[in-house]
A and B are shown apart, each in its own frame.
Chain A
């Protein structure tokens, strides 16, 4: 009976942090809106009304799919305290070369699509591995190398995405893109009638989430990975090769990052151009923090981000500024990291108190006896 009480307490504590953060974000955003001469509650009403329309919910799911994949890629590194800031460069490079390879030939989709996806994952993994190898062989912090690699990835794409190299000039859009993917490479979608199509990649994302959970929590590799994240010297002492773990998880994180561009490439754009979305890697960092590296938490975070992005668009039509969404998101991230720390400390203190009380209770009778005896 005692155990269930503690479990419930743990659940409440786990939920307390994100709820606290979102409430704080509401308060801060309201203050910002008020300070800049805007009525806050109407803005939230507009966003809620727009975001909960069925057609917008389809848009939110589609928007959240790449966010989810990005956050999972980041979270994998976070679990062993490896900061892969370079997810952004990895997915852009992966999507670019995936699009290039996919545009070069035409085979049935059952072959075409896996080839594209695997190319993107491979490129992402190789790009991430540079940082991993530099970390274990030369001791360079992965934070700095991945930031540098992000910029270099941009230059690499800029170099190859030119007519005569790997790009072609699209006449109607007046834009340089990779060759169009053949129709066989178009990913399936689930139609939701008048509300639009839900991209099939959301199922891939869900599978990735399950695989992430399984690998981390039910395999030796996942155990080692979490052990390194918790306490590197202890993991090393128990026979885990930290160097190999660093390189492996960088490879995995990069391969997952390669998936991020796929929903856009295989469901919307069918080619890579300068218009391809950028910055999703950084969004992934925010969402991984929000979801506490937990696959379900990350799903909630990704949907929240998608909701804010989509419903924010409506604000423009109601005489508000869409950019307030950036403020909301920034405040949420900051509050979430603070709230988790506050809750964690509170939990620790409570645990200590409970243990102390129990010890006191079991110690009390014996000390009574001693007093009597003396």
Chain B
């Protein structure tokens, strides 16, 4: 329809954020070789920091495994947000849909096994997605308001049902209470035989770069949950469906220019409904992932991860690749916090100082001396902070992902491009 839409269609699914952090220019189009180079450069920087600071947990397999467990629910919520927002419906209700996912995951999970929990979580999330769709698409209610209402309803309904269903009879006998479900059985997880042990052996040597790569790979192949594999499949499928099929093009056209889409015969309402229900189902899957992962539903388990997923999606410029990167960052920080990562976050100060120094040098090379100066000062301050302290208070660790998100959004928001008609209610036939 317009050149803007076309650029949205042709670009690969990598956010410009990753490039921005490494000094890329405005039109960051990351091709595969560039992405690989960046990953390699990042790995070298991280292992350098690990060796200098001695914070071995930066790339340990335990840390990476924890990051995956923490990051996947965020990524799934973000993927839900991606579906919804690409069709032009802002979805603040992801948090509520995720809460419903954890609840039904626990409710069906303890009675009929983890797979039933996953199915119930997905169904519950989809149901709340449907509520959001009815309110926003059919009734044209403001999308943020409807999302807030969905969140309130989800929290209230699950608290009530948990008290009704987990405090009597068999459920109570097995350890259920008003804020918790009885335990859920294990879901299958794989440890790649041979490879995992071999990688852990290498990791223990603490060689520069090699052990870091082994730690990261080891974290991926040890105790890999089936649900994580499913999530990866969902990511790939989302990319293929939304960017490589006519269906996806139509769905995204509803988010860019619904009037034009309708004039070409697209049933805008139907696409929006479908996208928002899929969105709820994915958020519900993320919730069920959390409940099944820790073998229990507990009240407040999501802890705002639906919102964080939304932030990760914006961070990733409404693309699956960027979203995965953002969710990984959050998951990594979450995992640090769980593992008492004071020294590790402290080491990250050095990494941040190095990155900012590199950025400043790049700016100086491009003769933008003011930006280079500001960057240089920040880098020196961070380095000073690193040298003069030994560890980080747990509260700083806790706040790290939020602060990073704020900084990244502040730095790169102007390069982000949301779907053009996102957040605007659409009435059938309004263009005629």
Contacts and interface: CB of A to CB of B under 8 A. Distances in A.
Q: Does B bind A?
A: yes
Interface of A: 32, 36, 83, 85, 134, 138-141, 143-145, 147-152, 154-156, 158-159, 282, 285-286, 289, 321, 323-331, 333-334, 337-338, 341-342
Given A138-B410, A158-B395, A324 B304 contact: no
A155 B141 CA distance: 34
A138 B416 CA distance: 11
Contacts of A159: 393, 395-396
Contact of B164 (A321, A325, A328): A321
A358 B421 CA distance: 37
Interface in B280-338: 304, 307, 310-311, 314
Interface stretch (B153-161, B182-190, B247-255): B153-161
A112 B163 CA distance: 45
B15 to A, nearest CB: 15
B314 A141 contact: yes
Contact of A341 (B139, B307, B311): B139
Contacts, number: 128
Given A155-B399, A326-B160, A134 B410 contact: yes
B148 interface: yes
Most B-side CB within 10 Å, residue of A83, A154, A155: A155
Given A148-B405, A158-B398, A331-B153, A285 B160 contact: no
Contacts of B162: 323
B398 A140 contact: no
B399 A151 contact: yes
Contacts of B411: 138
Given A144-B314, A151-B399, A327 B410 contact: no
A337 B146 contact: yes
Contacts of B92: 143
B157 A330 contact: yes
Contacts of A334: 131, 135, 146, 149-150, 152-153
A286 B164 contact: no
B310 A337 contact: no
B402 A337 contact: no
Contacts of B310: 144
Interface in B351-403: 393, 395-396, 398-399, 402-403
B398 A327 contact: no
28 contacts: A36-B160, A36-B164, A138-B413, A143-B144, A145-B409, A147-B307, A148-B403, A152-B399, A155-B395, A156-B399, A159-B396, A282-B152, A289-B149, A321-B160, A323-B159, A323-B160, A326-B155, A326-B156, A326-B160, A330-B157, A333-B149, A334-B135, A334-B150, A334-B152, A337-B145, A337-B149, A338-B141, A342-B139
A159 B394 CA distance: 8
Given A138-B411, A144-B409, 10 more contacts: A32-B157, A36-B160, A138-B409, A145-B409, A155-B396, A289-B145, A329-B152, A334-B135, A337-B142, A337-B145
Contacts of A154: 398
B420 to A, nearest CB: 15
A286 B409 contact: no
Given A158-B395, A323-B156, A330-B152, A148 B164 contact: no
Nearest to A157: B395
Contacts of B161: 36
Interface in B209-229: none
A205 B4 CA distance: 49
A141 to B, nearest CB: 7
B94 to A, nearest CB: 11
A172 B317 CA distance: 52
Main DSSP-derived SS at the B contact region: helix
B140 interface: yes
B414 interface: yes
A327 B160 contact: yes
A147 B144 CA distance: 13
Contacts of B402: 148-149, 151-152, 155
Nearest to B164: A36
A160 to B, nearest CB: 9
B393 to A, nearest CB: 6
6 nearest CB pairs, A to B: A326-B156, A330-B153, A155-B399, A159-B395, A330-B156, A323-B160
Interface in B149-199: 149-157, 159-164, 178
B240 interface: no
A36 B167 CA distance: 13
B159 A326 contact: yes
Contacts of B396: 155, 159
A85 B306 CA distance: 14
Contact of B311 (A148, A158, A289, A329): A148
B406 interface: yes
Contacts of A138: 409-411, 413-414
B157 A327 contact: yes
Nearest to B144: A83
B151 to A, nearest CB: 8
A285 B148 contact: yes
Most B-side CB within 10 Å, residue of A32, A286, A337: A337
Nearest to A326: B156
A85 B145 CA distance: 11
Contact of B160 (A143, A148, A156, A324): A324
Given A36-B164, A324-B160, A327-B156, A338 B135 contact: yes
A285 B153 CA distance: 13
